[in-house]
Amino acid sequence: MTFEHRGILRGAAALFVTTAILCAPVSALAYDRDAWRQDFGQLKRELASAYANLDWAVRERRMDLKALSADAGKRLDGARGDDEARRVFERFLGEFGDGHLRIVWPGPPAAPGAAPPPAAAPASGRSCADLGYRTWRDKGIDFPAFANFEPLATDESASFPAGILRTAGGARLGIVRIPLFMEEAFPEVCEQVHRAGDACDAKCERRVSAEVGKRISRSLAAQVGTLAARRADAIVVDITGNGGGSDWADAATRIVTAPGLVAPRMSFIKHPHWAKEMGYRLADVETDLKRPDLPAGLRSQLEAARTALAGAIRVAGETCDRNAVWDGAVACPLVAPPVFWSTGTLPARPPFDLRALELESDHVLYKVSRYEFTEGAYRGPLAVLVDGNTASAAELFAATLQDNRRATIIGSATFGSGCGYSSGGIAIRLANSGATLRVPDCVRYRADGSNEVEGVEPDVLVAWRNGLSRYQRSARAVRALGKWADQLFSR
């Protein structure tokens, strides 16, 4: 029942940030134009009723949905095979420029007599790799390539590589790398929690993930604390190539800056998926309200949450026919007005120890409390390095710090994914092709009211371009950080 923005899901789905839409060749005996047209009609209906950023695309991107739809229809009519039809769908969805809007095609049918695919790993005898834990492939900026960088050798460095960068102006910048805001990106921590070969069912997976989340929170706090103790004048968090992840991003944001951070507002779509999700949350709140031992202030927070959730359930249940958007007409809004924050019903940590109280609804009020960390492990000057592959929950991290004026964002514009999928999201299967359509079902808002899907614009631009080697990219980042430090400490 935990509410999660999964910008990157487990296993193969974690590759969505590469921007390539998965497409496996599917053979067909004959091209069935009518079947593809039917799937395209279904795709448009599903987008109208479940795609959180559709109205934003019209309003802010100035997309002409009628013309876009007509063009795709003509291309389908002119297609000469299934491969070409799939490319029409991909081109159509690509026009929305949304990192979370994607389609996954089914694999080719097995050849007659072929061996069946390997069965999923049983609950018994599972390793962390079987549970989906993998080291993230993007290593970020290559600071160790420079002589003026001193790597930090601590127990936490396996998860969060760090060190001190000495600038030409004499500043000491503490560098820490967060590869991914996702528990499954830390297999070395999973191996501390789960022994390879032990049985692990779904309940065990949740327990392992929860414990990994707590441990990486403590590790990040320890690492930035060590950098501060090494007399770092400022800390730089490198999230270049970080494709997002889970709710842990909200926790990490609060570890690297002083308490009092305000979470961004968020909205949900009017859809049965959200009505069901809100119902789960409300049930947990009702369970806690029956307890006689609640502090008075906490009881009032739970009562406020009950009222908000009951209202949200009513709004999520509202229906209307939105298909007119494909004719260029204005339809009823799909996205509900924001009544929650990315952290829950509370925008900042309450004065209660929610975990010590063992509430069922801690994830409803302030879900990051489940990570059991201390806010403000570091409270000094802060910068965040981003690039075009910084996405989803990583954008939440950067945007929250920027909007709260807690960090300088340095690099290039981020990917533009915004809020992703709640509680697994809404999986839609197209009837004829069998393709799975994934659509974001929530919206996060910046302090100025804009949709986070627009991406995060840096405060300081780095002149990166395609074709640079990793060393060249890193050298430009190091120069930009040196200039930032000179300006920061010359005031």
Predicted confidence (pLDDT) per residue in 421-438, tens digit: 998 899 899 999 999 999
Q: Is the pLDDT of residue 5 over 90?
A: no
Alpha-carbon dihedral of residues 335, 341, 344, 349, nearest 10 degrees? Answer: 180
User: 410 or 320: which carries more pLDDT confidence?
Assistant: 410
Which pLDDT value is given to residue 424? Answer: 87
Q: Is residue 3 part of a domain?
A: no
With respect to residue 204, please indicate whether it lies within any of the assigned structural domains: no
In a domain, residue 469? The reply is yes
Calculate what percentage of the chain has a pLDDT beyond 90: 85
Question: For residues 343 and 372, which has the higher predicted lDDT (pLDDT)?
Answer: 343
Q: What is the rounded average pLDDT of the residues 85-91?
A: 97
- Among 76, 104, 132, identify where a domain stops: 104
**Same-domain status, 239 and 304:** yes
Q: What is the mean predicted confidence (pLDDT) over 173-195? A: 97
The 10s digit of each residue's pLDDT in 352-367 is 888 889 999 999 999 9
| Residues with Cβ within 8 Å of residue 323, at least 6 apart in sequence | 44, 45, 48, 331
pLDDT the model gives residue 353 = 86
Q: Report the DSSP beta bridge partners of residue 149.
A: 165
Query: How far is 312 from 337, CA to CA, in rounded Å?
Result: 9
168 and 298 share one domain: yes
* Same domain flag for 27 and 173: no
- Overall number of domains in the chain: 2
Task: Kindly state whether residues 387 and 254 are assigned to the same domain.
Answer: yes
Residue 21 maps to a domain: yes
* Domain that includes residue 81, residue range: 11-104
- Give helix 202-229 / helix 248-255 axis angle, nearest 10°: 20
Identify any residues that bridge with 118 across adjacent strands, giving them in sequence order.
none
Per-residue pLDDT of 237-254, as tens digits, reads 999 999 999 999 999 999
Whether residue 75 is found in the same domain as residue 155: no
Is the separation of the CB atoms in 76 and 36 below 8 Å?
Answer: yes
Residues 6 or more apart whose CB falls under 8 angstroms from that of 365 comprise 301, 302, 305, 344, 345, 346, 350, 354, 359
Q: Is the pLDDT of residue 7 over 80?
A: no
| Domain edge (last residue) among 85, 104, 123 | 104
Name the domain boundary from 80, 104, 128. Answer: 104
Total length of the chain = 491
Give the CATH number of the domain where residue 272 resides: 3.90.226.10
Separation CA 325–CA 88 (nearest Å): 20
The β-bridge relationship of strands 234-238 and 382-386 is parallel
Claim to verify: residue 18 and residue 166 sit in the same structural domain: no
* Res. 121 pLDDT band, cuts 50 70 90: low
Q: In this predicted structure, what is the pLDDT of residue 364?
A: 96
pLDDT tens digits along 462-489:
999 999 999 999 999 999 999 999 999 9
Question: What is the band of 26 on the pLDDT scale with cuts at 50, 70, 90?
Answer: very low
Asked whether residue 325 is assigned to any structural domain, the reply reads yes
Q: Which residue has the higher pLDDT, 108 or 426?
A: 426
Q: Are residue 23 and residue 148 in the same domain, yes or no?
A: no
Average pLDDT over residues 430-450: 97
The predicted model gives 171-192 an average pLDDT of 97
- pLDDT of 16 higher than 60: no
Long-range contacts of 14-17 (CB under 8 A, 24+ apart): 14/134, 14/182, 14/184, 14/243, 16/99, 16/100, 16/102, 16/243, 17/99, 17/243, 17/244, 17/389, 17/391, 17/392, 17/415, 17/417
Q: Tell whether 479 is covered by a domain.
A: yes
Residue 322 lies in a domain: yes
In a domain, 250, yes or no: yes
Is the pTM of the predicted complex or chain greater than 0.85?
yes
Averaged pLDDT for residues 112-119: 63
Residue 65 CA to residue 157 CA, distance in Å, equals 49
- Claim to verify: residue 262 and residue 371 sit in the same structural domain: yes
Asked whether residue 158 falls in the same domain as residue 297, the answer is yes
CB 160, CB 219: distance < 8 Å: yes
pLDDT at residue 22 is higher than 70: no
Token pair 């159509």 is found at 92
Same domain? 374 vs 264: yes
Residues 328 and 375 in one domain: yes
Does residue 26 sit in the same domain as residue 167?
A: no
Question: What CATH number does residue 32 fall under?
Answer: 1.20.920.70
